[in-house]
Structure 1
Amino acid sequence: MAGLEHKRAVLRSENDLFHVGGLPTGDTLLQFWRWSRSDLLSNATRGVLAEFIVARALGCDLDVPREEWAAYDLTTPEGIKVEVKSAAYVQAWAQPSGLSRISFSIKDALAWYAETNRQAEERSRTADVYVFCLLKHQDKATVDPMDLDQWVFHVLSIRALDGYTRSRHSITLRSLQNISTEIPHSRIREEVLRANSGN
């Protein structure tokens, strides 16, 4: 059997219909999206939401769907490779011990390339710039991940991140605050461009 090429996702419409026997069932893709992605506080969905927020701020091409297993999360119009990490104090589940402690994964990984279905031979960080996204709001009753005023961001070049020697696996919020400046959503693009120019 011949090998199969990488099948890229195509941008779908909320009005796309499920079908059986060639006939529409009446169920739409929007219904699936609403059912499966409405919990914006869940770790998995919040992480993808953070990527979307950063992609919009950077002017990334949103007509190209995100690729789940790409070696990095985003590519800016300038070609800068960006990795997005997210964390939050408030979670969807019960938190008997109170607010979550904030840390972000920064571990090296074996990059996977969909076009060739091959993994890199050595662990590394493949992005040029990292954007750390913190949903800082601490009131569970009013937390709203779609309110960009409830988020803050830190931007680090790969050079700065590689210079962080305390851990190769994770970085706490305190450590991040010691080596970068907290910024609002409106400054993400400016800081990513600045960080990349220092690489």
Structure 2
Amino acid sequence: MIKTTDSKLKKGNEPFTYQGAKLDFDVLSFWQWSSSELLGNALRGKLAEFIVASSIDALSSLREEWDEFDVVASSGLKIEVKSSSYLQSWQQNKPSRISFGIQPTGTSQTRGEEKSRKADIYVFCVLAHKDMSSVNPLSLEQWDFYILSTSVLNEKAPEQQTITLSSLLELKPTHVKYERLGAEINKRDNKSVQPTAIAAAD
């Protein structure tokens, strides 16, 4: 069995090398090249996870690509982060409809397997700004955050794959701006919001 490697926090000045010689570009160069477009769906999702982690001082633990949830609070509370935006990195005729993926997941495709939402709570992050000339994902006042216990999703939408913002609001999530995000997450009692497994449909 091949063991996983331990990821270490990089500073950005780590050089690329070839045959023992340092090249004139480094990890920071790679980050700038690959991660400067923050409106794109994939990177905006990671940015949302970072923002949520920052609100509860959870940035010391590095992001793991294949974890069953996105952020873990110091209390052990497991958080799934979802992101959506009215504006995209491509040309649009009108703002996008806000929706999020909420599907229960499993580890295999075995018939009859138990699927579940692995986190204790969900934080739905909406980049709510609608003016392309001034949209900036780094301006946290442009974001809205909606916190919902996984148990509510399991009760109201047990096998649902996606949810629109209007349908989410019907579930009465806690709506906050960034300055209250960490405090609202920390209010959640880890023991009271454990997700319930959802049996896969035949």
Q: Same fold (TM over 0.5)?
A: yes
Deviation of 1:111 (Å) = 4.8
Mapped contact 1:82–1:128 kept (Cα < 8 A) = yes
- The alpha-carbon distance between structure 1 residues 73 and 12, as it changes in their structure 2 partners (threshold 3 A), is same
Distance 1:27 1:94 in 2: 32
Partner of 1:71: helix, strand, or coil?
A: coil
2:97 pairs with 1:101: yes
Cα distance per residue 1:37-67 (max 9 Å; x no partner): 000000001000000000000111x233211
Deviation of 1:166 (Å) = 8.2
Mapped contact 1:89–1:136 kept (Cα < 8 A) = yes
- The alpha-carbon distance between structure 1 residues 167 and 174, as it changes in their structure 2 partners (threshold 3 A), is farther
Aligned partner letter, 1:136: A
Q: Which residue in 2 is equivalent to 1:118?
A: none
Distance 1:6 1:92 in 2: 34
Gapped runs of 5+ residues in structure 1? 113-120
What is the TM-score when the length of structure 1 is the normalising length? 0.88
Distance 2:117 2:10 in 1: 31
Gapped runs of 5+ residues in structure 2? 194-202
2:112 pairs with 1:90: no
Distance 1:184 1:32 in 2: 32
What is the TM-score when the length of structure 2 is the normalising length? 0.87
Partner of 1:127: helix, strand, or coil?
A: coil
Q: Percent identity?
A: 40
Distance 1:166 1:10 in 2: 37
CA RMSD of aligned residues (A): 1.6
Q: Which residue in 2 is equivalent to 1:71?
A: 68
2:157 pairs with 1:165: yes
- The alpha-carbon distance between structure 1 residues 167 and 101, as it changes in their structure 2 partners (threshold 3 A), is farther
Q: How many residues are aligned here? A: 187
Match runs of 1:108-187 below 5 Å? 108-111=104-107, 121-165=113-157, 168-178=160-170, 179-187=172-180
Partner of 2:80: helix, strand, or coil?
A: strand
Distance 1:158 1:146 in 2: 28
